[in-house]
Amino acid sequence: MRKRFHIGLGILAAVILICGIAVGISILVCNSGLAVHAYDIQIKGIGQPFTAVVLTDLHGKEFGEGNEELLEKIRGQKPDVIFSVGDMIDGDADQAQVRRFLELLAELRKIAPVYVSYGNHEKAYMSSGGTDLAPGIEAAGAVLLDESCVTAELGGNKVCLGGTVGHLYPFGRTPEDYHASPEYRLMKQMEASGLPTIVLAHLPDTIIFVEAYKNWDIDLFLSGHTHGGVIRIPFFGGLYAPMQGWFPDEDMGHFDYGRVQLLISSGLAGHGKVPRVFNMPEVCVVHIS
């Protein structure tokens, strides 16, 4: 009996040791590696297929000097357009981090047209006394979509392209206040465009939690914020996502709700001091047809 007990303890210790080694190796790999995840999405009204790269949740991280490893990975995808979908800097970013972000945008612009929307961290940075990011984004050659939209030609297609942080439900506001909000007016303007519609919306949670996808006639939302669940449990999924909490159902990937589609990129950095585990930083590639 005692011998069996000691054998059991030995097996348990070996399993714990192996798991610990695997986690440690994964942290190291996920700290510097990059994976490409590709999705095929169909949108009514798109005549010529095109390829978009979606970047989100960089949080000031660098992949190689001057982000050259990230840039090289993106060049290899030969995108027709690049979308920067928020939280590319931290809310408490210093000027060096902001400068690196703007330099990255300038390099991305050499690859393809770049469209930028803010995440909650860019908004926090500017509201807490940081410099206005808009002039630097525009000087880098990118187009800023801050609760606004443009008609863009993407791969030969005219598309109504918009950007919002993603507060797409009232949040306790009166109907009058909500209907007067920039995000509500943006959605209505895009719906009325008569064109295929793509929204860069950093926060996917309002679309998910209150089923906001039922409220809008929008073809595709591109989001981030979830970090892919930060720590992914093999064969199970993400452990924790901001706002969604533990064991999130929609932490990354493509979700089709009928008239609305949502794509959540798992992004490029960890969550605060929590590193990514079994969750490679993602260059998200979307083939739209």
- Kindly provide the b/e burial profile for residues 133-153, where b requires at least 16 CB atoms within 10 angstroms of the residue's own CB: beebbeebebbbbbbbbeebe
Residues near 13 by Cβ (< 8 Å), separated by ≥ 6?
none
For the segment 228-266, what is each residue's pLDDT rounded down to a tens digit? 878 877 777 777 877 777 888 888 999 998 888 999 999
Residues near 286 by Cβ (< 8 Å), separated by ≥ 6?
38, 39, 41, 51, 52, 53, 54, 222, 263
Position 65, amino acid: E
Position 8, amino acid: G
Dihedral sign for Cα 51, 67, 252, 235, please: positive
Q: Check residue 211 and give its pLDDT.
A: 67
> What is the rounded CA–CA span in Å between residue 212 and residue 23?
37
CB 249 within 8 A of CB 234: no
Q: Check residue 208 and give its pLDDT.
A: 77
Mean pLDDT in residue range 215-219: 87
Position 170, amino acid: P
> What is the rounded CA–CA span in Å between residue 183 and residue 193?
16
DSSP designation for 202: S
Partners of 261 in the β-ladder? 220, 256
User: Residue 217 above 60 pLDDT?
Assistant: yes
Both tokens of 57, joined, read 């949740």
Pick from 103-112, 165-174, 230-239, 269-278 the range whose average pLDDT is largest. 103-112
Both tokens of 270, joined, read 């960890």
For the chain, helix, strand, coil in percent to 5 are 35, 25, 40
pTM summary value: 0.91
Q: Check residue 18 and give its pLDDT.
A: 55
DSSP designation for 280: -
Both tokens of 219, joined, read 């073809």
For the segment 16-49, what is each residue's pLDDT rounded down to a tens digit? 655 566 556 656 656 777 999 999 999 999 999 9
> What is the rounded CA–CA span in Å between residue 133 and residue 148?
16
Helix H segments across 61-164? 68-75, 95-109, 120-127, 134-139
Domains of the chain by start residue, with CATH: 33-288 (3.60.21.10)
Dihedral sign for Cα 56, 30, 109, 78, please: negative
22 vs 176: which has the higher pLDDT: 176
Q: Which of 133-147, 178-192, 208-222 has the weakest average pLDDT?
A: 208-222
Q: Check residue 27 and give its pLDDT.
A: 66
Q: Check residue 196 and give its pLDDT.
A: 96
Ramachandran category for residue 46: left, alpha or beta (phi over 0 → left; psi -120 to 50 → alpha): beta
Ramachandran category for residue 282: left, alpha or beta (phi over 0 → left; psi -120 to 50 → alpha): beta
